[in-house]
Structure 1
């Protein structure tokens, strides 16, 4: 019995595997992601309304607004305009690089 106790106590702690190194290619947006879908909607000439982005992503309005804030923080230029009392959002295709 003492031998079994010794093997339990002497086991080395397991360390988690190291994460893969991040590069700019791995940080590129997934074309099928919901964030990319709202970006593509906003690239249209007429832009996109909040309701259109909610319908496309199945997100709640506050989640879509948070995604827009995230895009702004990443340096994307998002413009707002009112058309018939509806706010429309547009993003320039060049700002996605």
Structure 2
């Protein structure tokens, strides 16, 4: 049975060097130019070509759509928010409690008229 050794950086570097050497010697035998070894790069948050592009100013997110509906004078019902975003009922309620009240710190008013569904709106006064 083969022994299992803990992986450390020196062993890893030796293994990469061996495979590079093997690639070069095999290419020489076939009479071809050896390929350069592939570099392993890590992408970190905020690094790379995608992060350099500026976000489009006209992009309307689902969160912004909901906030636009809630800022109206009459507010919005859960059903209206569902239709506007495509979310399920529990997701809309989670958005109202988590994003609107906790993260954004907005004052959310809930009104239940006698005839009609409950309406939510964001209050101007804090």
After TM superposition, is the score higher than 0.5? yes
Computing the radius of gyration from Cα coordinates, the structure with the larger value is 2
The answer to whether 1:41 aligns with 2:53 is no
> Superposition pairs for residues 7-26 of structure 1, below 5 Å?
7=19, 14=40, 16-20=42-46
TM-score (norm 2): 0.53
Equivalent-residue separation in structure 2 for 1:53 and 1:87 (angstroms): 12
| Coordinate RMSD, CA, aligned | 3.3
Instruction: Sort the Cα spacing of 1:46 and 1:31 in 2 relative to 1 into closer, same or farther, 3 A.
Output: farther
TM-score (norm 1): 0.67
Cα-to-partner distance string for 1:42-66 (whole Å, 9 max, x where unaligned) = 1110000111111111111101111
| Residue in structure 2 matched with residue 79 of structure 1 by the alignment | 109
Q: Could you tell me how far 1:20 is from its partner in structure 2? A: 2.3
